[in-house]
Structure 1
Amino acid sequence: MAVNRKTRGAARIVRKAAFSIGVVFALAGPAAQAETLADALASAYQNSGLLDQNRALLRAADEDVAGAVAALRPILNFTANVTRNFGTSRSTGNVGGIVSGLDSTQADMGLVASLLLYDGGAASLDVEAAKETVLATRQRLVSVEQQILLRAVVAYLSVYANRDAVQLRQNNLRLLSEELRAAQDRFEVGEVTRTDVAQAEASLAQARSGLATAQGDLQQAIEEYQNVIGRQPGQIAPPPQLPRLEGDVEAARALAVRTHPDLQEAQHRVAASEINIQRAESALKPTISAVGSLGITDDLESRDYSNSGTIGIELSQPIYRGGALSSTIRRAIAARDAELGNLYEVRKTVSQDVGNAYAALAARRASLSASEERIRAARIAFRGVREEATLGARTTLDVLDAEQELLDAETARISDEANLYIAAYGVLDATGRLTAQNLNLGVQQYDPTAYYNLAKDAPTTTSEQGRQLDRVLRSLQRN
C-alpha cells in the first residue's frame, strides 16, 4: 500500500514538473505585439533629456562661430542724451559786477561706426577656433548618444531577463511546495524522517527568498527602463539577432581609432588649441580700424543747433603690458600640450576598450554555450529520473532535484543570453558605431548641421534667416 502511494505521489509530481518545464520553454517564445529592442532604442533616443542638453550645448557652440564672424563686420552704435545745465556766473569787469544764469537744456544724438581692417588675423583665428570647437562638440554629442543607447540596451535586456527569472522562480516555488507536501505524506507513513521534512521546508523558504529577490531586481529593472526609455515596459519581445561585428579584434581596433567620437573630439580640441596659440601671438601685432561718427546737438531752449561728423583710421599696438601678453601665449601653449596629452590617453583608452569589449564578448559566448550544454544534460537527466520514478526506482525528491537543476540551468541561460547581447552592443559602443544612424532606428534623427548652417553667418533677428532660427528653436522646445 505504501509503495502504491509512493508511486502515485511521484507520478503526480512528475506531471506537475512536466507542465512547469513546458512553461519554462514557452518563456522564450515570441510574444504577440511585444515591444522590440529597436522600439526601446528609438524611444530612448527621442526621450533623452541628456541628449537634449548636449544638443543645446552644441547650438551654443554654433553661436560662438556666429559671434566670432560678427567681429569681422562693421559695428554701428546709436547714442542719445539730454543734458540740463544750471548755475550762475558773475562778471567783475563792471562796477558791482554782472550776474547771469547758465541754465540751458541740450540734446545730443549721434551715430558711431567702426570696422576692423587688420588685427594680425586674430578675429579670423577666433572663427577657426570656434569651428573646431563646434566639430568637437558634435563628436561629444555622438558619444552621449552612444551612452544613452547602450544604457537602453541594458535596461531592455534587464527587464526581459528579470521577468523570465521571476517566472522561473515562481515555478520553482510551486515545485518545492509539492516537494514539501510529498515529504510530509511520506513522513506520515514512515518512509522518511523529520529531517527530510525540515530540509524540504528549508528549501521552500529559500525559494521564497529567491523569488522576493528576483521580484525586487525586476522592479529595479522596470524603474531603470522607465527612466531611460521614457515609459513603463509592456510585453518585451525576445532579443533579435546579434549585431554584425568585425571578427578580428585588430580590425575593430583600427576602425575605432579612425572613427570613435571620443577620439575625434580630442583631435578637434587639439586643433582648436593650436589655433589659440596663433590667436595669442597675434595680440602682439598692430590693430587698424576705420572709425566714423555723425552727431547733432540741439539747444532745446533756443533755435540753435549744430551737427558734426568725423572719419578716420585708428592704429594701435601694445608696447608694454607688464608681461600679460607673453603669459597668455605660454598659457595657450600649455593648454595645447594638455590637449595633446588627453589625445594620447583617449587613443589608448579607445584601443583598450575595444580589446576589453571583445574579451567580454568571447567570455559571454563561452558562458552561454556552457549554459546550453548544461540545459541539455539537465534535460536528459530529468527525463531519465522521471522514467525511473514511474518504475519506483527513484523518489519524489530525486525527481524534484532533477527538475530544480533544469530550472537553475534555464535561469543561468537567461542571464547569459542577456549578458551576451549587452557585450555585443558594448563592442558597437567601443568601436563608435552604437548610433541611431548605424542601427537604422526608425526615428527622426537630429541633424547637427541644420542649426549651424542657419547660425554660422550671424543673422539678425529681423532677417529671414534669423526668423528661421527662431522657428527652429521653438520646434526644439519640449512641451
Structure 2
Amino acid sequence: MRKFWAALAVTSALVAAPAVQAETLADALISAYKTSHLLDQNQAVLRAADEDAAIAVAKLRPVVDFAAKASWTKYDNSFVTSSFATSNFETSSASATLTASVLIYAGGRGRLGVDVARESVLATRAALVNVEQQVLLSAVSAYVNVRLQAEIVALRQSNMRLISQELRAAKDRFDVGEVTLTDVSLADAALASARAGLATAQGNLQVARERYKAAIGHYPSNLQGLPKTPQLPKSQEAARAIAVRNHPSVIQAQHEVKISDLRVQIAKGGMLPTISGSLSTTEQDTGLGNTSLGLSLTQPIYQGGELSALYRQSLARKEISTAALHQTVVSVSEDVGNAWTNLSVANASIQAGSLQITATQKAFDGVREEAKLGARTTLDVLNAEQDLLDARAGKLQSEASRYVGVYQVLSATGQLTAARLNLGIATFDPEAYYNAVKKAPATSTQGKKLDRIMAKIKK
C-alpha cells in the first residue's frame, strides 16, 4: 500500500512539474529537428550523393600522373676483359615521367553521367524531406501522447477517489443495516480494480515518456497546452492535388524516372566508339628524355551480346521506375484519403463523446442519489461511475487523435516540414554543400569553404 501511494505521488509530481521547466510543442519540434540522428544520417547520405556529382564531373577532366623511378645494381661476379679485370661492378639510373590523359569522346556517356548524378542528388533531397516529415510527426505524436496519458492518470486518480468515497459510504450503510456485506465487497473489488487501472495508466505514461525522449531528445517536463493546429486544405480533393504535386515521395520517384531515362541513353552510348588522348614526357638522370603524344580509338564490335543485354535491361528498369512513380502517386493519394477520413472520424467521435459524457454524468448523479434513498444498489453506482470514466477517457483519446490527425494530413500532403511550420530555426540547406563540391574542388580556397560548411553542419 505504501508503494502504491508513493507511485501516485511521483505521477502527481510528473503531471504538475515546476513552471520554470515549461515546454511548448514548438520547443519539442525544434528539439526533435536538432537532435534527430535519423536526420543526421540522411543528411550525410545526401552529402555522399553530392560527392557522386563531383566524381562524375571529375571523370570529364584530364588525369595527370607523375612517376619517379630509381634503381641501383651491383654485380658481385668478377669478370675479365681484354684490357682489365674487375669485380663488384655497380650501376645506377633514375627517371621521372609526367603523363596526362583525357577522354575526348565516349558517346556522351560522360555528360550523361553528370546528369544522372545531379538527378540522384535531387532524388536524395526529396527522400531527406520525407525523413524530416517522419521526425516531426513522431515528435507531435509523442508530445500529444504524453499529455494524453497524464490526463488519463489524473482521470484514474479521480475515479479512485470517488470509488473510495463509495466504499466508505457502503461501509457506513452496512453498519446501520441498509446494505449487505455483498455491497461492501463490490465496492472493495471496484477500488482494487481502480488501483490496477491507475497503475496501468502510470505505466502507459512512463512508456510515453520514453517514446518522447526517443523522438525529441529529452524527457518531458511541464508540457504546455496544445496550440492551434495548422491550416489544412479546404477539401480532401484539394489535399490530394497538393500531395500529388508536392509530396517528397512523388518528387523522388519523378527524379528516379529521369535517371532511368538517362541510363537508357548511356546504354546506347556504350555501343559508340571511345576516343582518348595522352601526353607523356620522361627525363632520365643521364640528361636524355623523350616526349610522346598519343590518340586512341576503341570501337566495340562484338562482346557476346552484353551491350544489347545492358540496353534491354535499361529499358526494363525505365519501365520499373515509371510504374513505381504511378504506384507512388496511388499510395500518396490513398494516404491522404485515409488521413482525412481518420480526422473526420475523430471529429465525429469528439461530438459523440461530449454527448455521452453529458448523459452518463446525469445518469451517475441520478443513480447515486437513488442509491442514497435505497432505490439503487452499490453495484448500480459503481457501474455508472465506470461508464462515466470510459466516456471521459474515450473523449480524451478522440481529442488526441484529432490533433495528431491534422499533422498526419499535413504529412500525407508533403507539407509537414520545419519551414512550413514556421519553427523559427535555421534548417538544413541542401544546396550549400552541393554548391561547394559540384565542380569537384581541389584548391585551398574551396577547401576552406568546405571546412566552414562541415563545421556548421556539426553544430
| TM-score, length-scaled by structure 2 | 0.89
Distance in structure 2 (CA, Å) of the matches to 1:108 and 1:319: 39
What letter matches 2:33 in structure 1? Y
Q: Tell me, what secondary structure is at the counterpart of 1:319?
A: coil
Distance in structure 1 (CA, Å) of the matches to 2:120 and 2:43: 14
Aligned to 1:276: 263
Give 1:224 shift. 0.4
Would the alpha carbon gap of residues 286 and 97 (structure 1) be closer, same or farther in structure 2, given more than 3 Å must change? farther
Give 1:397 shift. 7.0
What letter matches 2:445 in structure 1? E
Give 1:225 shift. 0.1
Give 1:277 shift. 1.3
Q: Is 1:72 equivalent to 2:60 in the alignment?
A: yes
Distance in structure 2 (CA, Å) of the matches to 1:275 and 1:246: 36
Aligned to 1:323: 305
What letter matches 1:465 in structure 2? Q
The aligned length equals 443
Distance in structure 2 (CA, Å) of the matches to 1:391 and 1:206: 26
1:235 to 222, 242, 264: 222
Aligned to 2:5: none
Aligned counterparts, 1:239-388, within 5 A: 239-298=226-285, 304-382=286-364
Q: Is 1:50 equivalent to 2:38 in the alignment?
A: yes
Aligned to 2:177: 190
Distance in structure 2 (CA, Å) of the matches to 1:313 and 1:246: 63
Provide Cα deviations, 1:324-349, integer angstroms capped at 9, x if missing partner. 22222222222222212211211110
Give 1:390 shift. 8.1
Aligned to 1:17: none
1:456 to 419, 438, 446: 438
Structure 1 stretch 141-150 or stretch 463-472: which is displaced more? 463-472
What letter matches 2:25 in structure 1? L
Structure 1 stretch 410-419 or stretch 305-314: which is displaced more? 305-314
Q: Is 1:413 equivalent to 2:378 in the alignment?
A: no
Give 1:392 shift. 8.2
Aligned to 1:425: 407
Aligned to 1:21: none
What letter matches 2:453 in structure 1? V
Give 1:95 shift. 8.9
1:88–1:99 contact (8 Å) kept in structure 2:
no
Provide Cα deviations, 1:265-308, integer angstroms capped at 9, x if missing partner. 0110110111011112112211222210111112xxxxx33122
Aligned to 2:426: 444
Q: CA RMSD in A?
A: 2.7
1:54–1:141 contact (8 Å) kept in structure 2:
yes
Would the alpha carbon gap of residues 226 and 74 (structure 1) be closer, same or farther in structure 2, given more than 3 Å must change? same
Q: Is 1:466 equivalent to 2:447 in the alignment?
A: yes
Q: Is 1:181 equivalent to 2:162 in the alignment?
A: no
2:30–2:423 contact (8 Å) kept in structure 1:
yes
What letter matches 2:215 in structure 1? V
Q: Tell me, what secondary structure is at the counterpart of 2:423?
A: coil
Distance in structure 1 (CA, Å) of the matches to 2:323 and 2:85: 80
Provide Cα deviations, 1:206-239, integer angstroms capped at 9, x if missing partner. 1111111111111110000001100110111222
| TM-score, length-scaled by structure 1 | 0.86
Would the alpha carbon gap of residues 326 and 89 (structure 1) be closer, same or farther in structure 2, given more than 3 Å must change? farther
Contiguous gaps of at least 5 residues in structure 2: 1-14
Identical pairs, percent: 50
1:155–1:221 contact (8 Å) kept in structure 2:
yes
Provide Cα deviations, 1:240-271, integer angstroms capped at 9, x if missing partner. 22321123211211111111100110110110
1:91–1:97 contact (8 Å) kept in structure 2:
no
Provide Cα deviations, 1:9-33, integer angstroms capped at 9, x if missing partner. xxxxxxxxxxxxxxxxxx99xx786
Give 1:97 shift. 12
1:175–1:400 contact (8 Å) kept in structure 2:
no
